[in-house]
Structure 1
């Protein structure tokens, strides 16, 4: 499977089918509220602080922050479809969340323009090699103000290695079923997702990957980008025993601070 994963798979996966197959995570409003509670408790932002939701998809965390009174929240994601979904919801709910389509490795946003940047829901590690993943951390460092903080929500490598499942199956609704096949090599999980509709047949057969990081390795990567402090917390929002949620089953949160401020 490794040789057949397109290095740019992330440009094509995140569409209307993704919102269907991953709805139990990325469209779960109660989970989103709990995750935003955690962001507030951990980062302790003021409501006027500029915040960037990097690789933020349809902006579920940012929209929740905006609904709580945060006034300077920006979402950046590569998927134009998800950006459009977020903008439509913001319009319906009267929220001023800003949505931008772009590449997290080179956003084009101004330097030192955000007090807080977060990457939620295992949206980091989409490249098999460290170099491209490191570019996202370097870009985040550039965009952070002195004293600003970066938070990464990652798969828990230790849990993933100990509980690796080569196959999974879950039913989305009466019509759609999702089957995933996985292989692991050198801390990379290569996955094939097959989405079947009883009415329409196969509606997706897509391969993708997730790069796993140990606390030590991700900390070294973050320090090498220039951050002055790094902390790691395992078992974030664990769903162990509640089914196979892939990289969202058991997670690790990494928080880093840029010196100064």
Structure 2
């Protein structure tokens, strides 16, 4: 399916009565929605090219806009809109996609509910989240840390989910290992608000079920911003603390955590490779000696050879996503474009982003530079993985395509690798 065709509202199923006007810059297409429409603008998305939101500003949403249910229906009919805008800009065919990627693209892509809708077949599926946690449990070094935590022994185990999004992995860990001291950190205010709300709901349910043993609820959904002050640990949502801020400046003291997780392709967003090194150094800094980090990242070698240049999928009965993908000129990144179309509205978003395609040598270099030792994985033939310092041809590979219920255009989430490393005790 040609993307230029998909952008034509006459060919997008159920598109509103609209007019396509040729722009004067970059062959831009402007989709004009009739003025009497009740859904001209997507909440959290600016249609003004000079607005800070369209250049990476984070949209704020009230807690009333956030679902407390981690098993969402992914129904776009509930997506909030308002009437403050008259047009949505679609960029048409682009000649230089790399130049279209904003420097801080993640501030917009993860700023509202559209992310949860377009990627919901993976990031909002509790069965996939549980399976990913089970994979973590299958790693000796991780399992030993998780099982060392118990209320009876008095051992405190601290786990940080870095770039935690809506907190799906820490919430799952909280249910499986209630004695863990859990933390989540992410740059998206919207997703952290959602994580706090869901944590509060989980704790409230646990309190009602077992009031004598439940942890007191101290959830505070007021957003806090992270500074360079290591004492700023954000607001507490029961036993889980969530903070908002950049992963290049983690707001915790040295030697704090026993385990750090970086899940769901949340590493490698920066255009400058040096920033990835900064993140890895931050991970090393806040890990305790002997602590473990797990990085769940895109399978770079697989994507270089198998990425789909064009794809599309129906998110539900009313929303379609069309995507284009290109290898960067240096073949180190996959540049992606998402054009989101909603019936009755036409194009509601046209966004560009990129992720770095790591291979084993890249990760070895990053880990060595940060003072972390890569624990390669090998199987015993019984489905069990064991850490070894001997080099192995493959690390843990996760094929999300085999787990997704929608299973259509999975893109960078289709196949990922888990890299496991430890901070030396000496």
Pairwise same-fold verdict (TM > 0.5)? yes
C-alpha distance in structure 2 between counterparts of 1:213 and 1:230, whole Å? 17
Task: Tell me the secondary structure at the aligned position of residue 108 of structure 1.
Answer: coil
Asked if 1:164 corresponds to 2:260, the answer is: no
Asked if 1:246 corresponds to 2:411, the answer is: yes
Task: Tell me the secondary structure at the aligned position of residue 252 of structure 2.
Answer: coil
C-alpha distance in structure 2 between counterparts of 1:143 and 1:53, whole Å? 12
CA RMSD of aligned residues (A): 1.6
Partner of 1:13: 109
**Matching of residues 114-129 of structure 1 within 5 Å:** 114-129=257-272
C-alpha distance in structure 1 between counterparts of 2:402 and 2:251, whole Å? 39
Among 192, 212, 217, which residue is 1:83 paired with? 192
Residue correspondences, number: 261
Shift of 1:234: 4.4
**Matching of residues 25-174 of structure 1 within 5 Å:** 25-42=122-139, 43-44=142-143, 45=146, 46-47=148-149, 48-68=156-176, 69-94=178-203, 96-174=239-317
Asked if 1:236 corresponds to 2:333, the answer is: no
Partners of 2:255 and 2:286 within 8 A in 1: yes
Q: Which runs of 5+ in 1 are unaligned?
A: none
Shift of 1:70: 4.1
Asked if 1:202 corresponds to 2:367, the answer is: no
C-alpha distance in structure 2 between counterparts of 1:206 and 1:63, whole Å? 29
Give every structure 1 segment of 4 or more consecutive aligned residues whose post-TM-superposition deviation is greater than 6 Å.
none
Asked if 1:187 corresponds to 2:284, the answer is: no
Partners of 1:157 and 1:213 within 8 A in 2: yes
C-alpha distance in structure 2 between counterparts of 1:197 and 1:238, whole Å? 26
Task: Tell me the secondary structure at the aligned position of residue 244 of structure 1.
Answer: coil
C-alpha distance in structure 2 between counterparts of 1:66 and 1:237, whole Å? 25
Higher strand proportion (structure 1 or 2): 1
1:181-202 CA-partner distances (Å, limit 9, x unpaired): 1110222111111111012222
Change (3 A) 1:28 1:76: same
- Which moves more between the two structures, 59-68 or 220-229? 220-229
Partners of 1:170 and 1:179 within 8 A in 2: yes
Q: Which TM-score applies when normalising by structure 2?
A: 0.59
C-alpha distance in structure 2 between counterparts of 1:234 and 1:160, whole Å? 16
Partner of 1:256: 421
Higher helix proportion (structure 1 or 2): 1
1:57-103 CA-partner distances (Å, limit 9, x unpaired): 00000000011124301000000000000100111110522111111
Task: Tell me the secondary structure at the aligned position of residue 228 of structure 1.
Answer: strand
- Which moves more between the two structures, 55-64 or 8-17? 8-17
Partners of 2:167 and 2:184 within 8 A in 1: yes
Q: Which TM-score applies when normalising by structure 1?
A: 0.95
- Which moves more between the two structures, 5-14 or 44-53? 44-53
C-alpha distance in structure 2 between counterparts of 1:23 and 1:65, whole Å? 20
